[in-house]
Amino acid sequence: MSNIIQYFSEVGKGIKSLVTGMAVTGKEFVTPKITEQYPENRATLDISDRFRAELTLKYDSEGRHKCIGCGICQMNCPNGTIQLTTKMVELPDGKKKRKLDKYMYDLGSCTFCMLCVTTCPQGALEFSNDFEQAVFTRDKLVKQLNYRPEPADAAPAPAPKPAMDPEKLAQIKAEALAKAARIKAEKEAAAKAAAENAAPAPAEGAAAPVNEDNKANNQ
């Protein structure tokens, strides 16, 4: 009797397990698909910006990168993935400056820890999300990141004109003030003379003004 009970118990468990499995299958059957059809959808593939595929130097619109060749990223990389060399160049103004010569990056040994990116004082590095990096040999994973021809440095701005000597400037100012005062005085004198000339003449037949001294002598 106990064997029959055990038999039907096992059958019941089997049916319950089957129903549970079919429920999961049915649920996934009606759930929208999230599987990417790669490589058929390569043109429309949406890769997250946070995805770390390959270290790159940032370039501006003129093709310049910000790397100054300080070597901090190389020192901080735990895997020796970065090897860079620098060179001394002469600028258009005659000064010498150390610049980046070659920035070599071995993608095959990079662990994408981001230490290089976060410690770069110039913010010159970033990770691209270009994940298609398959090659046939490991040496092809070693890349020169400053691969673009660098634009020539701009010529130095012309030196500003020297300011005028303060003493000379004061002298010119004093001369200008004296000239203005002289012209003003001449104008005032001319105006006064013109006013005197324009005074009305005594009317004909009118008694001449009596000189009080002559009047006393006549008496």
What residues line the site for ligand SF4 (CB under 6 A)?
55, 67-73, 76-77, 79, 81-82, 84, 110-116, 120, 122, 124-125
Shorter beta-carbon distance to ligand SF4: residue 91 or 114: 114
Shorter beta-carbon distance to ligand SF4: residue 60 or 206: 60
Handedness of CA 142, 145, 148, 153 (dihedral sign): negative
Shorter beta-carbon distance to ligand SF4: residue 113 or 142: 113
Smallest distance, Å, CB 77 to ligand SF4? Answer: 3
Beta-bridge partners for 105: 82, 143
Smallest distance, Å, CB 54 to ligand SF4? Answer: 10
CA torsion, ordered 101, 106, 109, 114, to nearest 10 deg: 60
Smallest distance, Å, CB 58 to ligand SF4? Answer: 9
The secondary structure element, H or E, covering residue 13 is helix 2-30
Q: Which two tokens stand for residue 120?
A: 């770069």
Shorter beta-carbon distance to ligand SF4: residue 12 or 151: 151
Smallest distance, Å, CB 97 to ligand SF4? Answer: 14
Give the integer Cα–Cα distance in Å for 81 and 104: 8
Smallest distance, Å, CB 156 to ligand SF4? Answer: 23
Shorter beta-carbon distance to ligand SF4: residue 98 or 192: 98
Residue 104: closest CA among 139, 136, 131: 139
The secondary structure element, H or E, covering residue 133 is none
